[in-house]
Amino acid sequence: MTGIGGVAAVNVSSSSIPAQTTTVTGCVWISICALWNLVGVDSSQWQLNIATGAGQSIAYTSTLAPVVFIVTDNAGHVLPGATVSIYQTVDAWEGSCPVQGRCPAAPVIASSKISATSDANGQVSITPLTVSGVPQVVNIAASAGTQGFVSLALTLTP
């Protein structure tokens, strides 16, 4: 069915395209066809970067902004539909280290593991895990494919 301008549109998605070029054909009225080439990207070529949200250091009474990751291939093309694994731990605020000896290890007060799928722009947005009312450090590690990995720490200071 076409719209007012005589244009028809359809969305097509695939959860797995082999790491090669695949041709897709779409036809209307049997004889009017168009061809598209889809290029699959092997998971070893997936790269993961932080688009926004890194470097946050705010008062513990404030709210951290979301962190946005972007999945691309080696050539910088965004990868929609990529699975991203996100691991978070919330450590209690460490404060200052003693003049002598080791710094005590901060206890982990919360943790989570989630999986998300990148959107049409290759992005995944997450809300950092926090524990209300206490100073803390939120450690986030994310992975995509077999080689894509990033980590960051966000602080909620006293």
pLDDT of residue 144: 97
Task: Of 55, 57, 79, 53, give the one whose Cα is nearest residue 68.
Answer: 53
Is 8 inside any structural domain? no
pLDDT of residue 15: 58
pLDDT of residue 59: 96
**Cα gap 53→60, rounded to integer Å:** 16
Per-residue tens of pLDDT for the chain, all 158 residues: 667 777 777 666 665 666 667 788 888 777 888 888 777 788 999 999 999 999 999 999 999 999 999 999 999 999 999 999 999 999 999 877 888 888 888 999 999 999 999 999 999 999 999 999 999 999 999 999 999 999 999 999 99
Is 32 inside any structural domain? no
Q: What is the 3-state secondary structure (H, E, C) of 88-144?
A: EEEEECCCCCCCCCCCCCCCEEEEEEEEEECCCCCEEEECCCCCCCCCEEEEEEEEE
Is 133 inside any structural domain? yes
Residue 121 is part of which domain span? 43-157
For 74, list phi and psi in degrees, rounded to 5.
-60, -25
Is 136 inside any structural domain? yes
- Residues with Cβ within 8 Å of 11's Cβ and at least 6 positions away in sequence, in order, are none
Task: Evaluate if pTM is beyond 0.85.
Answer: no
pLDDT of residue 148: 95
Is 34 inside any structural domain? no
pLDDT of residue 12: 61
The tally of domains found in the chain comes to 1
Is 21 inside any structural domain? no
CATH number, domain of 109, equals: 2.60.40.10
